[in-house]
């Protein structure tokens, strides 16, 4: 490798580190956040730097992961999908490729997902299920699209009123959805995600939803992060969910109903960040619960084998969640994928050391 190439690598590495720290302060209005930073490092006479002093370098970031985007990446919208989590709906398709996944309580003590894809959109996603009353408050901050397979009329009307593009299986006659013969109904609706992205490519890209830091954002002593090997999440009796820290994979791996959670690719479901929010649950619709996600409550951020306690707040349906540590500073996530666990209060979440 030449001296010129080595000098450039050092400059780019330094700029990547500086930009990663600055990322949470930058608003994103396109497919990636652009950060320009001048070079202030004196040139090494033995390793001359290309370009003149003060030359700006552009760096692009995926707003829903905080990870670098390939040079020349085309801005595009996010795609939210209601994903079935009934036992007969498993394994789901492409969960590990989602940027952010929300898990919410639904009727019968089961859970369902609202997953959002942006940086890595697969050809197909599913199985797709019906919308619930809290979903407009969850998807509105992202903009883009929301795909689902209908639902009660009142819930569908609530979603249609949200400022997002609705892709509804019950209304579709254009081939965006299909039923998979190998899956039992009604857990068999599959979305052609690639076609959805092509049709609605002109929609705006999503803004940043969380603050991101380093790969170990909870290292500051003031955050009082505790070592964590396992997280147990009691959504309801008889329906346990858990995450375990896997040092070899540098990821949290998921189990539910007492068994490893595996997606259709054969991979264990995993995440870089697990965000646990204690939320209220209302019952104005009979047996269908409504998770309350506008307000404030207890929060935990779990990253890199440790967890920090704090609070969450969300000021309006269109606002993102804000995570704050006990010391009053932002709770930052590591760049990567995130699961947000909306655990009903007063259920007790357990973090095992």
Q: What is the CATH number of domain 221-352?
A: 3.50.90.10
Residues 6+ apart with CB under 8 A from 16: 59, 68
Confidence check: pLDDT of 26 > 60? no
Predicted local confidence at residue 166, as pLDDT: 98
Contact present, 82 and 128 (Cβ < 8 Å)? yes
> Which residues does residue 296 pair with via DSSP β-bridges, in sequence order?
313
| Percent helix / strand / coil, the chain, rounded to 5 | 15, 35, 45
pLDDT at 6 over 90: no
Check residue 161 and give its pLDDT.
98
**Distance, CA of 89 to CA of 189 (rounded, Å):** 10
Domain with CATH 3.50.90.10 in the chain: 79-199, 221-352
Min mean pLDDT across 22-26, 92-96, 163-167 is at 22-26
What's residue 237's pLDDT? Answer: 85
Residue 73 has a pLDDT of: 81
List, for residues 329-348, the tens digit of each pLDDT value: 999 999 999 999 999 999 99
CB atoms within 10 A of CB 19: 21
Encode pLDDT of 220-244 as tens digits.
999 999 999 999 999 988 788 999 9
What pLDDT digit, counting tens, does each position of 154-210 carry? 999 999 999 999 999 999 999 999 999 999 999 999 999 999 999 999 999 999 999
pLDDT at 239: 80
What distance in Å separates the CA atoms of residue 337 and residue 70, rounded to the nearest whole number?
17
Full-model pTM: 0.86
CA atoms within 13 A on the CB side of 208: 23
Architecture of domain 79-199: 3-Layer(bba) Sandwich (3.50)
- Work out the pLDDT band at 58, boundaries 50, 70, 90: low
């Amino acid at each position: 490798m030449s001296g010129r190439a080595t000098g450039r690598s050092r400059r780019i590495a330094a700029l990547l580190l500086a930009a990663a720290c600055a990322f949470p302060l930058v608003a994103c209005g396109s497919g990636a956040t652009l950060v320009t930073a001048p070079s202030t490092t004196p040139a090494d006479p033995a390793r001359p730097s290309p370009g003149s002093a003060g030359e700006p370098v552009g760096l692009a970031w995926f707003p829903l992961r905080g990870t670098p985007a390939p040079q020349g990446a085309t801005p595009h919208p996010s795609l939210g999908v209601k994903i079935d989590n009934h036992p007969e709906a498993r394994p789901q398709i492409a969960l590990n490729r989602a940027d952010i996944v929300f898990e919410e309580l639904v009727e019968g003590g089961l859970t369902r997902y609202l997953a959002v894809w942006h940086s890595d959109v697969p050809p197909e996603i599913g199985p797709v299920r019906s919308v619930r009353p809290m979903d407009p408050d969850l998807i509105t901050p992202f903009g883009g699209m929301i795909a689902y397979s209908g639902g009660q009329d009142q819930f569908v009307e609530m979603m249609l009123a949200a400022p997002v593009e609705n892709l509804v299986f019950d209304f579709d006659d254009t081939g965006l959805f299909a039923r998979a013969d190998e899956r039992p109904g009604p857990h068999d609706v599959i979305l052609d995600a690639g076609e959805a992205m092509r049709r609605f490519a002109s929609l705006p890209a999503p803004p940043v939803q969380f603050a991101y830091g380093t790969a170990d954002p909870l290292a500051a002593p003031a955050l009082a992060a505790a070592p964590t090997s396992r997280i147990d999440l009691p959504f309801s009796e008889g329906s346990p969910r858990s995450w375990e820290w896997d040092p070899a994979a540098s990821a949290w791996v998921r189990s539910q109903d007492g068994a490893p959670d595996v997606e259709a690719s054969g991979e264990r479901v995993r995440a870089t960040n697990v965000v646990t929010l204690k939320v209220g649950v209302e019952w104005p619709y009979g047996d269908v619960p409504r998770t309350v996600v506008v307000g404030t409550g207890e929060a935990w951020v779990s990253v890199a084998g440790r967890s920090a306690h704090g609070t969450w707040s969300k000021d309006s349906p269109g606002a993102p969640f804000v995570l704050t540590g006990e010391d009053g500073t932002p709770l930052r996530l590591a760049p990567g994928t995130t699961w947000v666990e909306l655990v009903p209060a007063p259920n007790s979440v357990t973090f095992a050391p």
